[in-house]
Structure 1
Amino acid sequence: MGVLTRSRTAKVIGGIALISASALVLAGCAGDSSPAESGSSSAPAGDREDLTLKIGTVLPQTGSLAFLGPPEEAGVLLAVNEINEAAKGITVELSPGDSGDTDNKAYETTVPRLQSEGVSAMIGAAASGVSKLFLDSNVSENIITFSPANTSPDFTTWDDNNLYWRTAPSDLLQGEVLANQIAEDGHSTIGIIYINDAYGTGLEGVVKEVFEGTGGEVVAEASFNTGDTSFDAQVATIAAANPDAIVAITFDEFATIAPLLVNAGQSAENFYLVDGNLKQWGADIPVSLEGAKGTTPGPVLEDDFVERLNAAWTEAGNAELEDQSYAAESYDAAVLLALAALAANATDGPTIAGKLQEVSGGTGDGEKCTTFAECADIILDGGTADYDGYSGPITFDENGDPTEATIGIFQYGADNTHTRVND
């Protein structure tokens, strides 16, 4: 990737966060395959042959983020179904796979299998820590890694040869929204318990910086490692400081940590969760979470999208989705890959990557469109498509990050399930 400078500002209003990035001309951002220049016109329909695009998924069917697997897989499945049904000169062949987590390491089996199958792109992983462990391997194979849920800021500057993209915003955004929400709720001191990995340390750092910037104080911090099962020491550290509120940056470990905190005298209504543990806990946690809040990226989903999502998922033999977290981001990832392939009139990873910013509207050109079929018609007519998806306008910057995104704020009720409290 060529040398560039960039600036980014984050603006948070009422829980809706937008990132604005300066768009600069970028030279030499392609891989070795000399992809088509971003912003160039698409190949005329008469010069085309039907394309077959192979996509794999590396999403959590097992492990600490397994609750995110169904909505993410459903999003990809729905997108692939609709792309193929549109019959616009491209067919997507989907090969699902399990990412697991950094503990069970299911990705160590999935990623080599998908590479051997000749996929052009892998959608996943959900966990930033998992993606970091196979991203370089995919780069060496000229395969796109496209995550619907990675939020670590580290990926913005990763040496990825233009082959890493994501529809989820960086935790620089989620952390800012969460910290501001805690301050707006009237809390002046917080304790933070967090997982010691790329996701946890990155998000913890942002929450701390922003909360202290509001005039608040972080009075206790305690970390734990992946695979830990005992959290007595961390809970004791937090409880001893008796903060106004507690931020839990964890995965499924929260099911063990929450009862320990309550038993230590901390009120669950002052708990704040993040996307890694903001699930419909129900009876899986034996204490009341009523009043607790949390954040996760993503806009309010249209009813029609949720209905189509559930229909695709249940028709494939699965139970109806309990959660839709990152479903829209997963759907949009698959649509963008297909549109970029169509715009490039090619299916190799580097060439597709050379068109991803363009089809997202990130080059500043293009005609707005909101479905794969509509965008495909623009491309086939020789124009430039600017796809706005269910996860938002997306509008990739030169680093493969979305420059516009929404963070949802949720609150738990008496049944330990959450509902969204912001638009």
Structure 2
Amino acid sequence: MIKKTLTLAVAASTLFAAAPVLAQEVKLGFLADLTGGIAGFAPGMVDAGNLAIANVNDQGGILDGLTLTSVIADSGCDATTGGPAADRLVNAENVIAIFGGFCSGATIAGANGSAIPGNVVMISPASTAPAVAALEDNDLIFRNVVPDSVQGVKAAELLLARGITEVGVTYLNNDYGSGLAGAFVEAFEAGGGKVLANVAHEDGKADYRPEIGQIEASGAT
């Protein structure tokens, strides 16, 4: 299914126009990866979201002067933490939309577990896994980032254009890594290249010599 991508401002304005005016403060949930693999990037994304909220509020808010406020939940950059975090935003905080998640696994878990059943819009700025586009989402889940189905293809085209026809691949064993690797491998082989090794690896290991050894043994250089 082809997804439309929307900016936070466009989606929010559409949603708020249909939302009942029940309070002077309107909550936006931030499903942010404050811990986990991309924790270093999360504060900047949260700051950007809060800046957008501040800009709206400084201009009088929405509808008849309602103000926006953010409610932040840590998704941990994985499904195990992201699912319950999204549940809190939807069912305890009663947010009317979610900015995030950032990591694909957290976004998918939050969407399936809470946002879609709760009829809450989610907009991710970073979840690139192809699986996000395959969600049965009732047109509630969006992203404004190029998906791995495009990024992987372009990476394959770049290598082939440079005359590189044999590669070894290793990828992070999660929704993001497997999606990107899958798109790359499919496009690379379709273009005449050979993938000599295709090895998943886990995040945060102390020793990656076994995975490196598999790639070396394949003959990839």
Q: What is the TM-score normalised by the length of structure 1?
A: 0.44
Task: Give 1:54's aligned residue.
Answer: 27
Task: Give 1:175's aligned residue.
Answer: 152
| Alpha-carbon shift at residue 165 of structure 1 (Å) | 1.1
Work out whether residues 196 and 224 of structure 1, in 8 Å CA contact, stay in contact via their aligned partners in 2: yes
Q: State how far apart, in whole Å, the 1-side matches of 2:220 and 2:189 are.
A: 14
Task: Give 1:82's aligned residue.
Answer: 55
Counterparts in 2 of 1:5-44, with a 5 A limit? none
The SS at the match of 1:111 is helix
| Alpha-carbon shift at residue 108 of structure 1 (Å) | 5.2
1:164 and 2:141 are equivalent in the alignment: yes
Instruction: Tell me the alpha carbon deviations over residues 120-167 of structure 1, each in whole angstroms, 9 at most, x when there is no partner.
Output: 111111111122222122222222222111111122221112221111
Q: State how far apart, in whole Å, the 2-side matches of 1:138 and 1:119 are.
A: 10
Q: How large is the RMSD of aligned CA atoms in angstroms?
A: 2.8
Q: State how far apart, in whole Å, the 2-side matches of 1:131 and 1:88 are.
A: 28
Q: State how far apart, in whole Å, the 2-side matches of 1:109 and 1:50 are.
A: 26
Work out whether residues 146 and 166 of structure 1, in 8 Å CA contact, stay in contact via their aligned partners in 2: yes
Higher relative contact order (CA 8 A, sep 6+): 1
Q: State how far apart, in whole Å, the 2-side matches of 1:159 and 1:229 are.
A: 38
Q: State how far apart, in whole Å, the 2-side matches of 1:150 and 1:225 are.
A: 19
The sequence identity of aligned pairs, in percent, is: 28
Task: Give 2:173's aligned residue.
Answer: 196
Task: Give 2:70's aligned residue.
Answer: 94
Task: Give 1:121's aligned residue.
Answer: 97
Name stretches of at least 5 consecutive residues in structure 1 with no aligned partner.
1-5, 9-18, 22-37, 245-423
Work out whether residues 153 and 187 of structure 2, in 8 Å CA contact, stay in contact via their aligned partners in 1: yes
Work out whether residues 102 and 226 of structure 1, in 8 Å CA contact, stay in contact via their aligned partners in 2: no
The SS at the match of 2:73 is coil
| Alpha-carbon shift at residue 119 of structure 1 (Å) | 0.3
Work out whether residues 50 and 89 of structure 1, in 8 Å CA contact, stay in contact via their aligned partners in 2: no
Q: State how far apart, in whole Å, the 1-side matches of 2:200 and 2:49 are.
A: 34
Task: Give 2:39's aligned residue.
Answer: 66
| Alpha-carbon shift at residue 110 of structure 1 (Å) | 3.0
The amino acid that maps onto 1:222 is V
1:130 and 2:112 are equivalent in the alignment: no
| Alpha-carbon shift at residue 53 of structure 1 (Å) | 2.9
Name stretches of at least 5 consecutive residues in structure 2 with no aligned partner.
5-13
- Change in CA separation of 1:185 and 1:73 when aligned onto 2, cut-off 3 Å: farther
The SS at the match of 2:41 is helix
Instruction: Tell me the alpha carbon deviations over residues 336-385 of structure 1, each in whole angstroms, 9 at most, x when there is no partner.
Output: xxxxxxxxxxxxxxxxxxxxxxxxxxxxxxxxxxxxxxxxxxxxxxxxxx
Q: State how far apart, in whole Å, the 2-side matches of 1:132 and 1:89 are.
A: 29
Work out whether residues 152 and 202 of structure 1, in 8 Å CA contact, stay in contact via their aligned partners in 2: yes
Q: State how far apart, in whole Å, the 2-side matches of 1:132 and 1:226 are.
A: 19
1:243 and 2:212 are equivalent in the alignment: no
The amino acid that maps onto 1:80 is I
Q: How many equivalent residue pairs?
A: 203
- Change in CA separation of 1:187 and 1:92 when aligned onto 2, cut-off 3 Å: same
| Alpha-carbon shift at residue 228 of structure 1 (Å) | 4.6
Task: Name the structure where helix makes up a greater proportion of residues.
Answer: 2
The SS at the match of 1:219 is strand
- Change in CA separation of 1:131 and 1:50 when aligned onto 2, cut-off 3 Å: closer
Q: What is the TM-score normalised by the length of structure 2?
A: 0.79
The SS at the match of 2:77 is coil
Instruction: Tell me the alpha carbon deviations over residues 61-111 of structure 1, each in whole angstroms, 9 at most, x when there is no partner.
Output: 1111112202211221111111111225342111122111338x4435533
- Change in CA separation of 1:97 and 1:195 when aligned onto 2, cut-off 3 Å: same
Work out whether residues 168 and 215 of structure 2, in 8 Å CA contact, stay in contact via their aligned partners in 1: yes
- Change in CA separation of 1:219 and 1:133 when aligned onto 2, cut-off 3 Å: same
- Change in CA separation of 1:108 and 1:161 when aligned onto 2, cut-off 3 Å: closer
- Change in CA separation of 1:65 and 1:243 when aligned onto 2, cut-off 3 Å: same
The SS at the match of 2:94 is coil
Q: State how far apart, in whole Å, the 2-side matches of 1:229 and 1:134 are.
A: 30
Task: Give 1:373's aligned residue.
Answer: none
Counterparts in 2 of 1:229-240, with a 5 A limit? 229-240=206-217
Task: Give 1:33's aligned residue.
Answer: none
Work out whether residues 49 and 89 of structure 1, in 8 Å CA contact, stay in contact via their aligned partners in 2: no
